[in-house]
């Protein structure tokens, strides 16, 4: 039985499908049946699913409000206090449904990071949690008073006041750490990083932000780092009145940054009239390192990882250099070891360099912190590259159990499912990773491939719009980023803007003709996203790619649905055979990784 039962009118299927996909990406199971015709009688399965669900999501539209079946399901859910309604097109709600808080979804834009959708997730989560607690409660526990409602808070991206754009990683890292710290406080419901970072770089009206995100309080501030000093200003604002609940300015030595972060989190909790539990205080104070220089290097490395594109050797090498230095300074810094493993894995399997595969670094991270989910996740990917699939499955299951909200964990889980050609599961994890990191392009790229392969055109368009917006933001900072143009061309193709996509392709190939990742993406555009595919042009683009691609990249190409139109072509078969022979020869000479 599913967590969520979706009640809707069949004619609204196209509108409901992306909503269901985005909810599934959260990790909940959803029951909905697009095949049920209007007026069809409930059968035993429908009634059983309706009764077993922890929440009933009713989609009100001008069509569904006149459906007696949808209205009946809504009444049943309301009577059991599990109704979560949403509305499109300002539909006139049934009289008995007007007193129930309804989420307006006209402006959600099929974007899981949008404020309306995040509001819906919070409503669904609250109902599901309440139902699960009720079902598992003993008679004595059921009689106990319900816990006090959590206070909702949003931490806006702290402004970088250092006068140096390259210091952005530090202010973003401080913001993310404060979000993580406050999320450990059971009395608080903290808006996700991705939703908060929508407002980065904008002049915001705090009361408007509070309304859009449905929060009671907003934390905003700034960071100025210069030399060995750091100045942080922070203010907690009441979202309904715009009054300051708490404000402070800290001017400290940079070596005090960890103590400073602890003070800010504890001051916010105190200002909201809560008290930290001992285990919460301990969790907040666990930073992974006590060395500020190592922490600073790790923040730089992670910013490089989450803002770049896989298969970029310069990016991987930068991550490795930064993390290697961080681990030299603090050999017990587990997060730096795990990120070092990611960089080494990319350089070995995606780029094809004769380098460490990252497995030793992943094991070192786990020796420092056996419960670090990101270390288990990267170890799973490395084991899969070596063909040790059972061990990889065990590692990714551990990672998902430790932290199902981790960006790195969800990306790794999606990667493994994609390689196994379990596209529906890969989609769920890629949707989650895309929603967790506002700078992520890789998940969007893979979702375009997956949704195109399964024939979900609505979801394809949604992901293309979201990812194109991220690409354009990246190109605004670096107009000559060929890898971003490659991703943008895929998005433009999915959106039916073929001519513009071709312009991007031509420009990128002039700027960086040897960017193999861009060439690969351009070929995928030509094979699957044109009304009339140009297979000859795709093969021309892929020629240099297959002459140099690494073992991991070849394994990806072998299962990539975007290349399916080429698989029977003699020239493509010859490319694959030549690449396999080259890699086998390199393996025998001990100068390249073994393909799995």
Q: Express each pLDDT in 559-568 by its tens digit.
A: 999 999 999 9
* 457-596 to CATH, choices 1.10.287, 3.30.1240, 1.10.10, 1.25.40: 1.25.40
Alpha-carbon distance of 184 to 264, in angstroms, equals 14
Domain 4-136 matches domain 151-287 at the CATH topology level:
yes
Question: Domain spanning 305-440 has what CATH number?
Answer: 1.25.40.10
* Whole-number pLDDT of residue 144: 45
Among 87-101, 410-424, 495-509, which stretch is predicted with the lowest mean pLDDT? 87-101
- Is 342:358 a contact under the CB 8 Å cutoff? yes
What is the pTM (predicted TM-score) of this model? 0.69
| Average pLDDT over every residue of 120-147 | 68
Give the domain ranges of the chain.
Answer: 4-136, 151-287, 305-440, 457-596
* Whole-number pLDDT of residue 271: 87
Q: Which H or E element spans position 103?
A: strand 103-104
Protein fold of 4-136: Rossmann fold (3.40.50)
* Whole-number pLDDT of residue 37: 43
Among 179-188, 190-199, 207-216, 582-591, which stretch is predicted with the lowest mean pLDDT? 582-591
* Whole-number pLDDT of residue 278: 78
Reported in sequence order, the residue ranges of 210-243 that DSSP labels E, i.e. its strands, are: 217-226, 229-238
Three-state SS annotation for 249-307: EEEEEHHHHHHHHHHHHHHHHHHCCCCCCHHHHHHHCCCCCCCHHHHHHHHHHHHHHHH
Alpha-carbon distance of 161 to 171, in angstroms, equals 9
Q: Express each pLDDT in 263-290 by its tens digit.
A: 888 888 888 887 777 777 777 777 789 8
- Average confidence score pLDDT of the chain: 86
Q: Express each pLDDT in 519-578 by its tens digit.
A: 888 899 899 888 889 999 999 999 999 998 888 889 999 999 999 999 999 999 999 999
Residue 141 has pLDDT above 50, yes or no: no
* Whole-number pLDDT of residue 34: 53
* Whole-number pLDDT of residue 12: 84
* Whole-number pLDDT of residue 396: 94
Residue 592 has pLDDT above 80, yes or no: no
Alpha-carbon distance of 236 to 220, in angstroms, equals 7
- Is 212:198 a contact under the CB 8 Å cutoff? no
Distance of CA 233 to the CA centre of its chain: 29
Alpha-carbon distance of 301 to 321, in angstroms, equals 9
> Percent of the chain beyond pLDDT 70?
93
Homologous superfamily assigned to 151-287: ABC-type transport auxiliary lipoprotein component (3.40.50.10610)
Q: Express each pLDDT in 43-92 by its tens digit.
A: 556 777 878 889 999 999 888 887 877 887 888 888 788 999 999 888 88
* Whole-number pLDDT of residue 146: 47
* Whole-number pLDDT of residue 336: 97
Tally of residues, the chain:
596
């Amino acid at each position: 039985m599913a967590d969520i039962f979706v009640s809707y009118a069949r004619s609204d299927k196209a509108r409901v499908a992306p909503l269901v996909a985005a909810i599934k990406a959260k990790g909940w199971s959803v029951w909905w049946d697009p095949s049920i015709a209007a007026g069809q009688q409930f059968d035993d399965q429908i009634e059983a699913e309706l009764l077993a669900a922890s929440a009933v999501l009713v989609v009100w539209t001008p069509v569904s409000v006149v459906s007696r079946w949808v209205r009946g399901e809504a009444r049943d859910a309301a009577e059991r206090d599990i109704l979560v309604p949403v509305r499109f097109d300002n539909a006139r709600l049934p009289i008995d449904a007007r007193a129930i808080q309804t989420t307006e979804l006209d402006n959600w834009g099929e974007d899981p990071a949008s404020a309306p959708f995040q509001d819906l997730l919070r409503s669904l989560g609250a109902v599901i949690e309440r139902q699960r607690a009720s079902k598992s409660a003993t008679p004595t526990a059921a009689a106990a008073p319900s816990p006090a409602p959590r206070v909702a808070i949003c931490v806006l991206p702290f402004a970088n006041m250092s006068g140096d754009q390259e210091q952005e990683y530090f202010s973003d890292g401080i913001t993310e750490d404060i979000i993580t710290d406050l999320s450990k406080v059971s009395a608080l419901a903290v808006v996700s990083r991705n939703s908060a970072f929508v407002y980065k770089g904008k002049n915001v009206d705090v009361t408007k932000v509070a309304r859009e995100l449905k929060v009671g309080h907003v934390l905003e501030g700034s960071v100025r780092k210069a030399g060995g000093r750091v100045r942080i200003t922070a203010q907690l604002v009441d979202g309904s009145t715009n009054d300051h609940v708490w404000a402070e300015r800290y001017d400290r030595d940079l070596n005090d940054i960890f103590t400073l972060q602890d003070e800010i989190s504890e001051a916010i909790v105190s200002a909201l009239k809560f008290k930290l539990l001992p285990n919460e205080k301990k969790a907040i104070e666990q930073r992974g390192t006590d060395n500020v220089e190592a922490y600073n290097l790790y923040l730089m490395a992670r910013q490089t990882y989450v803002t770049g594109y896989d298969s970029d050797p310069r990016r991987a090498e930068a991550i490795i250099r930064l993390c290697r230095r961080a681990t030299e300074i603090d050999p017990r810094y587990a997060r730096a070891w795990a990120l070092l493993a990611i960089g080494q894995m990319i350089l070995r399997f995606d780029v094809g360099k004769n380098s460490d595969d990252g497995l030793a670094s992943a094991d070192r991270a786990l020796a420092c912190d056996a419960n670090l989910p990101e270390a288990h996740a990267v170890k799973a990917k490395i084991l899969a590259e070596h063909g040790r699939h059972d061990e990889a499955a065990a590692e990714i299951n551990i990672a998902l159990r430790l932290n199902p909200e981790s960006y790195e964990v969800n990306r790794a889980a999606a990667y493994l499912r994609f390689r196994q050609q379990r596209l529906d599961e890969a989609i769920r994890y890629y949707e989650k990773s895309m929603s967790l990191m506002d700078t992520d392009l890789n998940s969007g790229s893979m979702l375009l491939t997956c949704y195109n392969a399964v024939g979900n055109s609505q979801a394809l368009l949604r992901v293309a719009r979201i990812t194109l917006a991220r690409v354009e933001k990246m190109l605004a900072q670096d107009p000559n980023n060929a890898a971003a143009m490659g991703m943008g061309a895929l998005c433009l193709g999915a959106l039916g803007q073929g001519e513009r996509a071709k312009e991007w392709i031509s420009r990128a190939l002039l700027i960086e003709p040897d960017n193999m990742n861009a060439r690969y993406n351009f070929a995928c555009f030509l094979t699957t996203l044109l009304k009339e595919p140009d297979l000859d042009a795709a093969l021309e683009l892929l020629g240099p790619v297959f002459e140099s691609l690494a073992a991991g990249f070849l394994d990806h190409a072998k299962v990539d649905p975007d290349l399916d139109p080429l698989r029977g072509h003699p020239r493509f078969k010859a490319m694959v055979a030549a690449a396999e022979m080259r890699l086998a020869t390199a393996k025998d000479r001990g100068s390249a990784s073994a393909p799995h």
